[in-house]
């Protein structure tokens, strides 16, 4: 038999999830099912995105979300798709979504999991054929099963995540996730309708030469960030900024780099949301050997007090994140000295 005529297609996401489950003797399979539910919704959203120019799904939906942001039609579609998949799956009792003011009770009160999700990340890039994404985190509920999930279940800090991931709808569509045992990436094969393992055991370089930051807000950045950006320029680093967090993060994860979204005059606490943007990617970054900070400390240790809480975010290669923190510390020290004088 000449095997070279028909090379194997590789490991599907489903098979990979199943194999991983077998590594845990007491696993019930619920988390595996939940990850499969997310993958199914991702395939559907991917289809909608790919047809975006052909059917009437681009443009504004005509409403704002709780954060005062203009919702795009695809934001709303992705939100419906993911919530429906999670509700139908039955493992999730409660969902936190960027597009919904309040927590969503799925009616599956026996479900043991909480999901926080940004159904579509990078809204401003939808209509212009630039990469967009989905970001999610999974937590185990703290409250007794049998009742609706509680606010306390939803406001757990990032160290309690049991899984997190993202989908990047780009030049190819990829799903990347972690359950706390490393990071694995899968590429979508549209003709077969399956995600295949393409990036096993992803690790991020310790350092890099890419910095990603919307410097439009520069004038109101904290001094430490301004100084770090000067350092990047003096060092000859490349500036790369797509404006879709998922896509910027994904590139830097593979190539090495740092993504920075600091506090600005417009967003004094930072723009990105702690529960379904910062924590999710922080878990992946750490599992890949990188770091995530708010400029002063570890993202995943921030105690959330609100569903749609915002945070500054510095994420990527470990040595670069450390460097940003050093610059932040130095600028605070310098400011203290001036005040003391």
User: Which residue numbers belong to the known binding site?
Assistant: 98, 118, 120-124, 214, 241, 271, 277
The nearer residue to ligand AHG, 134 or 317, going by C-beta atoms, is 134
Angle (CA) 196 198 202, round 5°: 130
Characterize the bridge pairing of strands 291-293 and 313-316.
antiparallel
> In this structure, what token pair is assigned to residue 72?
């795009």
> In this structure, what token pair is assigned to residue 338?
């001036």
Site for ligand AHG (CB under 6 A): which residue of 17, 245, 275, 281?
Answer: 245
Measured CA to CA, the distance from residue 319 to residue 30 in angstroms comes to 37
Residues 6+ away with beta carbon under 8 Å from 156: 114, 139, 142, 304
Give helix then strand counts, H and E, for the chain: 8, 17
Q: Quick check: 123 and 75 in contact, CB under 8 A? A: yes
- Determine if 244 is a binding residue for ligand AHG (CB under 6 A): yes
Contact positions toward Mn ion, by CB under 5 A? 98, 118, 120-121
Binding partner selected for residue 153 from Mn ion, ligand AHG, none, CB under the kind-specific 5 to 8 Å limit? none
Binding partner selected for residue 286 from Mn ion, ligand AHG, none, CB under the kind-specific 5 to 8 Å limit? none
The nearer residue to ligand AHG, 243 or 289, going by C-beta atoms, is 243
Measured CA to CA, the distance from residue 18 to residue 284 in angstroms comes to 20
Binding partner selected for residue 156 from Mn ion, ligand AHG, none, CB under the kind-specific 5 to 8 Å limit? none
Q: Of the candidates 223, 231, 250, 218, which has an alpha carbon nearest to the alpha carbon of residue 320?
A: 231
Site for ligand AHG (CB under 6 A): which residue of 21, 71, 94, 123?
Answer: 123
Binding-site residue total for ligand AHG (CB under 6 A)?
12
- Determine if 37 is a binding residue for ligand AHG (CB under 6 A): no
> Residue 65 Cβ, how far from ligand AHG at the closest point, in Å?
8
Angle between helices 73-89 and 30-50 in degrees, nearest 10: 150
- Determine if 215 is a binding residue for ligand AHG (CB under 6 A): no
- Determine if 121 is a binding residue for ligand AHG (CB under 6 A): yes
Binding partner selected for residue 271 from ligand AHG, Mn ion, none, CB under the kind-specific 5 to 8 Å limit? ligand AHG
Measured CA to CA, the distance from residue 108 to residue 141 in angstroms comes to 12
> Residue 271 Cβ, how far from ligand AHG at the closest point, in Å?
6
- Determine if 214 is a binding residue for ligand AHG (CB under 6 A): yes
- Determine if 116 is a binding residue for ligand AHG (CB under 6 A): no
CA dihedral for 46, 48, 52, 57, sign (positive or negative): negative
- Determine if 99 is a binding residue for ligand AHG (CB under 6 A): no
Q: Which residue is nearest to Mn ion (CB)?
A: 121
- Please choose, out of 27-35, 77-85, 119-127, 180-188, the segment that lies near ligand AHG by the rule CB under 6 A: 119-127
The nearer residue to ligand AHG, 32 or 204, going by C-beta atoms, is 204
Site for ligand AHG (CB under 6 A): which residue of 43, 141, 251, 271?
Answer: 271
Residue ranges of the binding site for Mg(2+): 98, 118, 120-121, 277
Q: Quick check: 310 and 267 in contact, CB under 8 A? A: yes
> Residue 117 Cβ, how far from ligand AHG at the closest point, in Å?
10
- Determine if 69 is a binding residue for ligand AHG (CB under 6 A): yes
CA distances from 24 to 148, 165, 179, 181, 188 (A): 28, 20, 12, 12, 27
- Determine if 122 is a binding residue for ligand AHG (CB under 6 A): yes
Binding partner selected for residue 224 from Mn ion, ligand AHG, none, CB under the kind-specific 5 to 8 Å limit? none
Measured CA to CA, the distance from residue 268 to residue 64 in angstroms comes to 20
Measured CA to CA, the distance from residue 105 to residue 102 in angstroms comes to 9
Where on the chain is the footprint of ligand AHG (CB under 6 A)? 69, 98, 118, 121-124, 214, 243-245, 271
């Amino acid at each position: 038999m000449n095997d070279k005529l028909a090379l194997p297609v590789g490991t599907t996401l489903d098979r990979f999830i199943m194999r991983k489950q077998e590594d845990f003797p007491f696993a019930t399979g619920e988390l595996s099912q939940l990850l499969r539910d997310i993958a199914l919704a991702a395939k559907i959203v991917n289809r909608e995105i790919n047809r975006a120019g052909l059917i009437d799904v681009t443009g504004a939906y005509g409403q704002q979300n709780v954060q005062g942001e203009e919702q795009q039609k695809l934001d709303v579609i992705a939100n419906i798709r993911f919530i429906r998949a999670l509700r139908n799956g039955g493992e999730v009792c409660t969902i936190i979504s960027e597009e919904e003011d309040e927590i969503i009770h799925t009616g599956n009160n026996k479900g043991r999991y909480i999901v926080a999700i940004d159904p579509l990340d990078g809204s401003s890039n939808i209509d212009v054929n630039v990469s967009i994404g989905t970001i999610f985190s999974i937590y185990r509920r703290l409250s007794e099963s049998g009742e609706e999930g509680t606010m306390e279940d939803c406001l757990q800090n990032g160290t309690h995540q049991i899984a997190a991931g993202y989908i990047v709808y780009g030049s190819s569509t990829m799903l990347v996730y972690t359950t706390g045992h490393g990071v694995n990436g899968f590429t979508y094969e549209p003709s077969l309708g399956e995600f295949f393992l393409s990036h096993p055991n992803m690790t991020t370089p310790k350092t890099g030469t890419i910095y990603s930051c919307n410097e439009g807000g520069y004038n109101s950045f904290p001094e430490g960030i301004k100084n770090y950006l000067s350092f990047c320029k003096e060092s000859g680093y490349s500036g790369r900024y797509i404006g879709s967090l998922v896509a910027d993060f994904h590139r830097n994860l593979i190539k090495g780099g740092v993504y920075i979204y600091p506090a600005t005059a417009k967003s004094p606490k930072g723009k990105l949301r702690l529960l379904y943007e910062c924590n999710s990617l922080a878990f992946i970054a750490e599992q890949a050997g990188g770091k995530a900070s708010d400029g002063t400390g570890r993202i995943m240790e921030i105690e959330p007090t609100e569903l749609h809480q915002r945070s500054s975010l510095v994420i990527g290669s470990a040595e670069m994140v450390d460097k940003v923190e050093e610059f932040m510390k130095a600028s605070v020290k310098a400011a203290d000295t001036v005040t003391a004088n």
